[in-house]
Chains A and B, each alone.
Chain A
């Protein structure tokens, strides 16, 4: 049985989310005060010492991102909190923002001080309209207490945060698409480089960080980068907030150190529900991996997952029991990408549909062995030819299911050939 290590979720259910007093009683806004007494470079150095890597899926080191924006020339700079959380099976940002919004705002303020920004935006997905009033009230309270706004805590540093709404488009979680969306346009990804760190919102240097990443920041300043670096595993420090969903007994959002074994998490939360058998897992989101029940012995951190040809991604653990057909789930996932492709580039716009058609052919008994090679070819072409991560990784579920559940495909093809 595991017990949680709560850093990001430190205040969950212990405070009234909108109350500054409650947050302060638990040490809140002291880290910001501490940061304001440090040199911005020293704040970045603490991030480096901590080893914190982004929790939005890509795992980019926070200190590197901040250093780039800090060094980039610009009369204005921005900090954006990415709260688009569109990844199916990921609920952590919703839980953090509705339970402890101050931790995210404080993280944004510390980031802003470190890079020299005065304005921040929190981009909230439109599926979470009920969080908006919580965020607005918290901001109002924080400004009232001088924790945000002009001359924060009597210092020279000012920082304003505004909440902006998404419109229901998964691709807007991609940082350049998100910036396009804030600028009042269709959320289509931009060509990179230039990266947002140098040329982001309105062409200015912009830090884009995920909700969970930002909620870690105040604790790192309070307790020091070194303390943080000793949690988790080397090169992938701290905790991860996992979302358990699908056919598991105890669903929900739980925080464990990086490197915690999947098997332990699975067993701690009761395994498969209702005495069915475990078929496998979908890990890391829709662009993540389908693994079989035999692959359960897996340390959950960015590098271990990568070595095992898996991904940690957003920390999604979707449990699949043996009532479900893997081909059906893969088809469902491809439907997602067909609907969410922004259509800007052809390999993604067309490729997802072609992959879906091939899958349908196989599952309806019309498949041929060549189709499996075709799937691999299409996937690798899309991986190199697509403009953004959506198209680049949309077929990962297909390819990993081919590798980890080969029988499913072979049987479906044989069944067709016999008929």
Chain B
């Protein structure tokens, strides 16, 4: 499923607004889907927690913590709305935070659903150094990590956080940078 994928190699159906004629997309990356597990876990907990409370509340003649039924409904509604906002915010942020690697440049799209978007890019002739890191057990098991680009541009460092196949991505960027500086 495309809406849950984090790694696209030479995608045919993906384009971006500032794509130049003849510019080919090599990779489109998001954070590895496994990085979503903590907030998904929290969301599932948040969704089922009121059910436990309601189970107690329905079978009890006394109100829990002395809460009136009207206030009880208000609190549950508020709880579910905040949970929904949290889920939507987390998912949309993950979905639209994209790294694009083309044969001409590297583009980093930072997106926040409530506030802003920021697009940074650099061409390969400005890339001075590339590296990647896989720091912990999860990174190794699920094959994701961070890729770093040192550039001579205004934005000194590009950091691709928790992207899948970091060694492949770093290798490809390194190849393009080497070709650009020849």
* Chains A and B belong together in one complex: no
The residues of A with any CB-CB pair to B shorter than 8 Å are none
> Which B residues are closer than 8 A to A by beta carbons?
none
